[in-house]
Structure formats: structure tokens, C-alpha cells
């Protein structure tokens, strides 16, 4: 019988028993990806990183969707008004205006009128003539003959418009072109243009498709600029329409104009009468004008060079780079930095506009505002978090957030029984007591900032000599021994101090050393204890305690999962959640080391809460994926004396919606039990709440027959010491057999730990062991790897 298990899919095609030596590349890839994932999680846990990410995401969303185009056009409008400038005057506009129609007593001009106007203009020395109209309908016969004759006489110098047709293709396609008899002697230009929302801006193509092939746009032809149908530009509406020389069509027709006005100029004839319905609001100028003026502005824009539109991405990246460079608290919020960024976002487009380069700044502006507003809120929260609520003094957390190097000696002063002293008063006197302590510290160490956390007071001393500092602390001790009066009562205080003078380390790491040295001084009943990492490596281990909470918050502490195999069904039936700590400097830290320290200093509850929460979340996820598994979590013996344990576990289970019988609490070695002990009563409470108990490390220490007699446990775990040696040691084999038989007689499930070979697994199967756990099945792995292991099992030989 075989079960298929292979979570390294393709990296190591041989058996799971293959070691890192057998397949070094596979393990190297796995470790590299794990390290990368750990670093990414650590980075993501930083609030400022998340703020910048979501600000950037918002800006990108606005940029990609074009949602802010109207706002961008309003900003351009403002820039055009500020940059207002006259035209060069080389384009003259001839207006088919109300005056023209009134004098002609007609609704429109005729092709014969157009022929006479063309003749008048070229007689006056005009260079070229452009019509902002389409000639797709023939006129009267004699008018057409006259019009065609004039076109022949001025071949290549007159251009007629083409526009879209109702039955033609959509997009940049001028389906309605001048009649062939006209275009045989005149050029054809596209009159197509595209307004933005609310007509706040307009976009011109350089060329358009048409039934007669690609044709240049009106503005491009006037400016003699070539381009394809995919190219376009935004006109520079800072050029004032009122500055263009203009003539009435009727005056040109009657010869009532100064020829010098049109001599050598480009002439643009446009419909301007109200009846033509071609009047539009001009962006940036707050006036209405015939649409033909837009082509005049576009032509003059092109004469200065084809504008380039860089879009929203360059300003967005510039803003993002500035914000990221100041991601540390206080830097990005600097008034000058913020003001400079806003000024740059406003000023740079002005400069670029004059160079014919367009940019969109609104996505970058959104990123700036979102990042700054949210970071200011975060700063307020952090400032509040860096102030001790009880005393009003700066919190030690403010120093923990600093990576500063300083040549000042760091002092941590530990007040013995601080909590008991505060609790002895009916009213709140912590601020008064703390201020009295600070006042005495400053008697001989003037001007220092004192940070407060619980019974610990920390400061950077102005005294540079260690010898002088020790004498000063002795004097402070004598002063404090005289008593402090708080709330009308005299209080006797006693303190011990820790000192750190390793100036090459940042404050964030020195705090732990100084505070732990103060704890060491308390234990050794010394006034001052100086930290020395070179002589006291054990001190570093203990100082891990002060950084443990941050390690949990920033992702250094994580949970690995070691699967458990049901021997009868040959399937994974559960897993054990095991806490891990990957320190950024020391690498992986042994769980035995930091768990022992956490227990010694009564900090095990935070770790347990974290592990139980992660384990329960993982179990719920596995259930959602269709895997019916249980999850085991180690519970410290110390925590069993905490009356809040059942409530803590119940809250976590309720929060995630996991039935209590899916969670197994593994009870590690504790004092010898009897039915009257508080620990035994706690275990009964846990079982009554629906939780299952497991006797861990059975066969060692106190975890012996007494446990089987008294503990309401449903599972027994045989210690790996006996399991691993039973192949070669008959006594251990008999011991394992006895434990299994005895546990089964008491209706307990038996789990064997430390199974590392197929032979050991086969022995346990013959002995009717229920569940196995060990490297032969899998090492403890991250949760995603556990899912893969369950989904794609490896081959296990079960005889």
C-alpha cells in the first residue's frame, strides 16, 4: 500500500527522504523564496509602506482610467490663462459672419461667392486659402463652373474640408469628402476634432482616414506638418483668439479690405454666423468663438513643433520617488518638503507647456495628498503611542523607534515594586510619582529627557565618564532613600540600574541591553549592572525578551506546521503549530531559547495568543479547502495557572468560527499533579469547554503514569527520544510498546514523535500506533507548503 506525497514537485524527483545534500538546488530555491517572502511580509507590516502603496495604487487607478481628465483640463485651463500670449499673425481668419449673410440676404454663401473671395485674396497676395467647410454637395451650375475655374487657376493653393459621415466608419475617419470635380483641383484636409468631457479641452489628429486615403488635418496642413492617423496633439490655448487678424467675408467679396493684411499669409475661411451653429467655448479664454479658430490655434501650435504628451506617469513616478525617499516619520511631512512638492507639481507643467511638452499632474497630486494626510494621522497616533498615558512622560517606545547612533551612555533605572506602590493609592498618582523621580534624576544630570515604561525610567546621560556616572547613580540612590512624598504620604523607593555604553549600536538595540542589565541588577541585588556584549553573550539572549513583541508585529515571529499522519488510513489527519523566530541579525533563534526566556519573565501569554490565533485561522482555511484536520498547539505549564486562558482561547475560536474539538492543546511538562491542584482544575475547565488535551513528551520528566491517571487527556504523545532509538535499543522498543498498550487500555490515542525512517514507521504500525509525526513525513513548514503537502502528498512506504 502506498500514499503519494511530493511537495517539491519537480525540484527533487526522488523520494522525500532525499536530504539537502541530495538536492541542494531545491533547498536553496526554497530557502531563498522563504527569505524573500519573510522580508516582503516584514516590509508590508510597516504602516508607512502600506500608506505609500495604497496612495500609489489610488494614483495609478486614476491615471490608468482617465477618471481625472476633467480636473486635469481645469488645471491646464488655469495655466493657459496665466501664459496668455498673442498669435504671430501669419494666419488671417475670414469670417462668414452675420454681416455677410445680411448683406447677401441669403442663408449661406454660394460657390460663386467662394470663387470671387478666392480671387480677391490671391489678387491681394495671399499665400494659401483653407476652407473650414466641406464641399460634398454641388452648387448651381454656373457657380460650380466659376468655382472650378478659380481652383484650376490656383491649383495646389486652395484646400477644402472633409468631415465625418453618418453612414461611415466611426473614429478618426472623414467619410464626407469634397466632390471629385472640386478635389481634382484642390487639396483635401480633415476637419475632425475630439472634445474632452464638458468641452474643457480638444484633441486634433495630424491626419485622418478617408475614402480617398489618409488626408492631413486642417491645422497640420496650414503648419506644413506631416503625421499619421495615430498621432495627435492638444492645441496651446494660451494663444489668444482675439489676437488673430480677421476680415469679414463680405468685405473681402466686395474688395473692402487692405491687401497688406493678407499678403503672404495663410487664409482660413470659417463659418461664423449664428445660423451655422459652430460656436464653442474656448478652453483657457472664457469666451465663445467659431470652431475654425481652434484650427488656427492648432496650426500655430504645430508651427512651434509637434507637442509631446508625456501623460501622467512621469510626474507620478517623480512624486512617488520623493515620498519614498522621505518615508521615515517626520521627513515626508516636513513643511518645506511638502510645499516644495506641491510647488513643483504646479510649476513644472508651466515650464513644460512652453516647451511643447504636456504632462498630467493630477494622479501625482492625489498620491501626494493621500500619502501626506494619512501619514500625518499616523504620526499623531505614533506620538500618542510614544507618550506614557499614566505619567505623561515620553514612552520608551519613542527610543525603540530610533536607529540613531549617539555617544551618550544609556541608563535604565528600575523601580522595585513600582506597580504595588501605584496601586496602594486610591487616587491616580502615577504622574506625580514619575515627576518626582525625574526631578531627582535631573539634580545631577541636568536637562536629560527621561522616558518611562512601567517601573522603568530610561535616559541618555550627559555624564560622559562611566566612573562619574556610577558615582552619580550612587548619589541618586542616597537621595531617593530619603523618601519621596506623593499624595501627602512618604514613600520609600528602591531602585537598580542598567547601563549601556556601546556607542556603535543604534538606540533601538541598546535599550534592550540597558533594561535587561537593570533586571540583572535587581536579581543580583547590585545597584548598577553594565551591559557588555563581548563578555556576556547570555545577556543578549535575555534581551531578546524586550524585542519579542515587535518581532511578532513585524513578521519575524511566525508559525510553522508539522503534519501528522493517521497510520491506519495513511492520510494526513492533523498538524502541530510550532512557533519560529527569524531574527534579522542572528537568523533563526531556537524556540527552546526564547520560549524559556518568555516563561521566565512571564511573557508567554503573548506568544501563545499569537500562535493559537494563527493556528485557528490556518485550520479554518484548511476546512474551507475541504480538509478535515485537527490542529495541535503547545500550552506552557505556566499558562495553565492563568485563569484567563480558557476565555482567551474561546474568544479566538469564536472570532474565526472554529469548533472547539478541532483544537488540541498539548500540555508540556509541569509540576507533579494531584486532583486538588489549580492546574488540574484548569485542565478540567478546558476539557469541559470542548477542547481536547494531549500529554506531550510522555515518558520524560513528570509526564509519566501520573498524567495518565489524572489528566483528562484524549491523546498521548510518545517523546521522540524513545521513538528514534527503538530500532537499536530493545528496552526503548519495549517501553514504546508498553506506552501504546497502556494508553489504548485507557482509551487514549497515541502519537509517536520523531519518526525519521521508513523502518521506524513500520515498527510503529506493527505496534498499532495511531498517529505519527516526524521528518520522514515532513519537517515543520510554512502554511502554504502545508497546503501543497496535503494536496500533493509524497510517497510513504507503509509495509
What is the pLDDT, as a whole number, of residue 283?
A: 92
Angle at 592 between CA 582 and CA 589, to 5 degrees: 20
Q: What is the mean pLDDT of the chain?
A: 84
Cell numbers 506493527: residue: 766
DSSP of 554-574: TTSEEEEEEEEEETTTTEEEE
Lowest mean pLDDT among 197-211, 367-381, 564-578, 750-764: 367-381
Nearest Cα residue to 622 out of 613, 633, 630 = 630
Task: For 678-698, write each residue's pLDDT tens digit.
Answer: 778 888 899 999 999 998 888
Q: For 635-662, what is the mean pLDDT?
A: 90
Q: What is the pLDDT of residue 21?
A: 42
* CB of 653 closer than 8 Å to CB of 619: no
Rounded Cα distance between 200 and 74, Å, is 7
What is the architecture of the domain spanning 561-715+769-791?
A: Alpha-Beta Barrel (3.20)
Cα–Cα distance measured from residue 361 to residue 347, given in angstroms and rounded to the nearest whole number: 11
- pLDDT score for 455: 86
C-alpha 89/C-alpha 190 separation (Å) is 23
Q: Are 72 and 361 in contact (CB under 8 A)?
A: yes
Which three-class secondary structure string do you get for 516-554? HHHHHHHHHCCCEEECCCCCCHHHHHHHHHHHHHHHHHC
| DSSP secondary structure string for all residues of 15-70 | -TT--TTT-HHHHHHHHHHHHHHHHHHHHHTSHHHHHHHHHHHHHHHHHHHTTTHH
Task: Assign a CATH topology to domain 396-546.
Answer: Alpha-Beta Plaits (3.30.70)
Query: Residue 30: its pLDDT value, please?
Result: 54
208 against 702, higher pLDDT: 208
Mean pLDDT over residues 528-547, rounded?
Answer: 63
| Segments making up each domain of the chain, as ranges | 3-45, 52-80+310-377, 86-305, 396-546, 561-715+769-791
Q: End-to-end CA distance of the chain, in Å?
A: 7
Write phi, then psi, for 205 (nearest 5 degrees): -80, 155
> H/E/C letters for each residue in 345-411?
HHHHHHHHHHCCEEECCHHHHHHHHHHHHHHHHHHHHHHHHCECCCCCCEEHHHHHCCCCCCCCCEE
Residue of 618, 629, 625 lying closest to 783 (CA atoms): 618
Three-state helix/strand/coil letters over 729-778: CHHHHHHHHHHHHHHHHCCCEEEECCCCCHHHHHHHHHCCCCEECCCCCC
Pick 37 or 560 by higher pLDDT. Answer: 560
Question: How much is the average pLDDT of 730-753?
Answer: 91
In this structure, the number of other CB atoms found within 10 A of the CB of residue 468 comes to: 13
Rounded Cα gap, residues 219 and 223, in angstroms: 6
When pLDDT is cut at 50, 70 and 90, the band that residue 53 belongs to is: confident
| pLDDT the model gives residue 169 | 85
- What number is the average pLDDT over the span 545-551? 73
Residue-level pLDDT at 481: 74
Provide the 8-state DSSP code for 437. Answer: H
Domains 396-546 and 561-715+769-791 share a fold: no
Res 325: pLDDT: 75
Q: What is the pLDDT of residue 12?
A: 38
Provide the 8-state DSSP code for 676.
Answer: T
Residue 13 has pLDDT above 70, yes or no: no
* Tens digits of residue pLDDT in 276-314: 999 999 998 989 999 999 999 999 999 999 999 888 898
Residue range 420-468, pLDDT digits in tens: 788 777 667 888 888 888 988 888 888 899 998 888 999 999 988 877 8
Burial letters for 612-642: b for 16+ Cβ neighbours within 10 Å, e otherwise?
Answer: bbbbbbbbbebeeeebebbbbbbbbebbbeb
Confidence of residue 373 (pLDDT cuts 50, 70, 90): confident
Q: Which residues contact 78 (CB under 8 A, 6 or more apart)?
A: none
Q: What is the pLDDT of residues 316-351, one digit of tens each?
A: 888 888 888 766 544 444 556 667 777 878 788 888
pTM for the model stands at 0.50
Q: What is the enclosing helix (H) or strand (E) of 667?
A: strand 663-667
| 3-state percent helix, strand, coil for the chain, nearest multiple of 5 | 45, 20, 35
Grid coordinates representing 698?
A: 510522555
Residue 131: the pLDDT is 97
Top mean-pLDDT range of 395-399, 415-419, 493-497: 493-497
Amino acid at each position: 500500500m502506498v500514499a503519494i506525497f511530493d511537495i517539491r514537485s519537480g525540484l527533487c524527483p526522488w523520494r522525500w527522504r532525499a536530504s539537502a545534500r541530495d538536492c541542494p538546488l531545491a533547498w536553496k530555491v526554497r530557502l531563498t523564496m522563504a527569505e524573500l517572502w519573510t522580508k516582503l511580509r516584514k516590509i508590508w507590516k510597516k504602516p508607512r509602506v502600506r500608506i505609500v502603496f495604497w496612495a500609489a495604487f489610488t494614483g495609478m487607478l486614476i491615471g490608468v482610467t482617465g477618471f481625472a481628465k476633467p480636473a486635469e483640463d481645469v488645471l491646464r485651463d488655469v495655466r493657459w490663462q496665466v501664459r496668455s500670449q498673442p498669435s504671430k499673425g501669419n494666419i488671417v481668419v475670414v469670417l462668414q459672419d452675420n454681416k455677410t449673410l445680411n448683406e447677401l440676404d441669403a442663408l449661406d454663401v454660394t460657390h460663386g461667392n467662394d470663387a470671387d473671395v478666392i480671387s480677391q485674396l490671391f489678387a491681394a497676395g495671399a499665400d494659401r486659402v483653407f476652407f473650414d467647410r466641406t464641399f460634398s454637395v454641388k452648387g448651381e451650375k454656373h457657380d460650380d463652373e466659376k468655382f472650378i475655374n478659380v481652383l484650376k487657376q490656383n491649383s495646389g493653393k486652395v484646400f477644402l474640408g472633409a468631415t465625418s459621415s453618418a453612414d461611415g466608419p466611426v473614429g478618426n475617419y472623414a467619410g464626407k469628402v469634397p466632390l471629385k470635380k472640386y478635389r481634382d483641383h484642390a487639396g483635401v484636409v480633415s476637419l475632425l476634432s475630439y472634445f474632452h468631457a464638458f468641452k474643457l479641452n480638444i484633441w486634433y489628429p495630424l491626419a485622418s482616414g478617408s475614402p480617398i486615403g489618409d488626408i492631413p488635418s486642417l491645422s497640420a496642413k496650414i503648419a506644413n506638418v506631416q503625421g499619421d492617423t495615430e498621432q495627435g496633439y492638444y492645441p496651446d490655448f494660451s494663444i489668444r483668439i482675439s489676437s488673430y487678424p480677421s476680415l469679414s467675408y463680405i468685405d473681402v467679396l466686395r474688395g473692402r479690405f487692405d491687401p497688406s493684411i493678407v499678403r503672404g499669409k495663410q487664409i482660413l475661411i470659417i463659418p461664423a454666423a449664428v445660423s451655422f451653429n459652430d460656436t464653442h467655448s474656448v478652453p483657457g479664454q472664457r469666451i465663445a468663438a467659431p470652431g475654425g479658430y481652434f484650427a488656427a490655434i492648432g496650426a500655430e501650435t504645430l508651427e512651434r513643433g509637434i507637442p509631446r504628451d508625456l501623460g501622467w506617469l512621469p510626474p507620478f513616478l517623480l512624486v512617488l520617488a520623493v515620498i519614498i525617499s522621505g518615508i521615515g516619520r517626520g521627513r515626508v511631512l516636513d513643511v518645506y518638503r511638502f510645499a516644495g512638492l506641491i510647488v513643483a507639481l504646479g510649476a513644472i507643467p508651466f515650464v513644460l507647456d512652453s516647451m511643447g511638452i504636456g504632462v498630467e499632474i493630477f494622479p501625482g497630486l492625489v498620491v501626494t495628498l493621500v500619502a501626506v494626510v494619512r501619514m500625518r494621522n499616523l504620526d499623531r497616533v505614533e506620538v500618542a503611542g510614544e507618550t506614557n498615558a499614566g505619567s505623561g512622560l515620553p514612552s520608551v517606545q519613542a527610543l525603540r523607534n530610533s536607529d540613531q547612533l549617539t555617544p551618550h551612555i544609556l541608563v535604565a533605572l528600575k523601580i522595585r515594586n513600582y506597580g504595588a506602590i501605584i496601586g496602594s493609592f486610591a487616587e491616580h498618582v502615577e504622574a506625580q510619582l514619575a515627576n518626582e523621580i525625574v526631578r531627582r534624576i535631573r539634580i545631577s544630570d541636568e536637562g536629560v529627557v527621561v522616558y518611562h515604561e512601567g517601573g522603568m525610567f530610561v535616559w541618555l546621560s550627559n555624564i560622559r565618564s562611566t566612573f562619574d556616572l556610577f558615582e552619580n547613580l550612587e548619589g541618586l540612590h542616597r537621595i531617593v532613600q530619603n523618601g519621596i512624598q506623593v499624595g501627602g504620604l512618604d514613600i520609600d523607593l528602591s531602585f537598580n540600574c542598567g547601563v549601556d555604553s556601546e556607542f556603535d549600536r543604534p538606540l533601538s538595540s541598546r535599550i534592550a541591553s540597558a533594561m535587561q542589565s537593570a533586571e540583572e541588577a535587581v536579581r543580583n541585588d547590585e545597584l548598577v549592572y553594565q551591559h557588555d556584549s563581548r563578555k556576556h553573550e547570555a545577556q543578549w539572549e535575555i534581551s531578546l525578551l524586550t524585542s519579542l513583541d515587535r518581532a511578532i508585529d513585524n513578521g519575524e515571529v511566525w508559525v510553522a506546521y508539522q503534519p501528522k499522519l493517521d497510520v491506519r488510513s495513511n492520510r494526513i489527519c492533523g498538524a502541530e503549530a510550532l512557533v519560529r523566530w527569524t531574527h534579522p541579525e542572528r537568523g533563526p533563534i531556537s524556540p527552546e531559547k526564547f520560549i524559556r526566556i518568555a516563561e521566565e519573565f512571564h511573557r508567554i501569554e503573548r506568544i501563545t495568543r499569537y500562535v493559537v490565533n494563527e493556528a485557528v485561522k490556518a485550520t479554518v482555511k484548511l476546512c474551507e479547502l475541504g480538509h478535515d484536520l485537527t490542529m495541535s498547539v503547545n500550552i506552557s505549564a505556566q499558562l495553565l495557572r492563568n485563569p484567563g486562558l480558557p476565555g482567551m482561547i474561546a474568544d479566538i475560536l469564536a472570532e474565526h468560527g472554529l469548533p472547539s474539538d478541532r483544537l488540541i492543546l498539548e500540555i508540556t511538562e509541569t509540576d507533579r499533579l494531584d486532583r486538588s491542584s489549580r492546574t488540574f482544575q484548569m485542565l478540567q475547565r478546558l476539557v469541559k469547554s470542548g477542547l481536547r488535551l494531549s500529554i506531550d513528551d510522555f515518558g520524560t520528566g513528570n509526564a509519566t503514569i501520573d498524567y495518565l491517571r489524572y489528566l483528562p487527556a484524549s491523546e498521548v504523545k510518545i517523546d521522540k527520544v524513545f521513538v528514534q532509538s527503538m530500532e537499536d535499543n530493545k528496552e526503548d522498543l519495549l517501553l514504546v510498546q508498553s506506552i501504546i498498550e497502556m494508553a489504548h487500555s485507557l482509551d487514549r490515542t497515541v502519537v509517536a514523535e520523531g519518526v525519521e525512517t521508513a523502518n521506524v514507521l513500520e515498527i510503529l504500525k506493527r505496534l498499532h500506533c495511531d498517529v505519527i509525526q516526524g521528518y520522514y513525513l515532513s519537517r515543520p513548514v510554512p502554511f502554504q507548503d502545508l497546503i501543497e503537502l496535503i494536496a500533493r502528498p509524497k510517497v510513504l512506504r507503509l509495509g
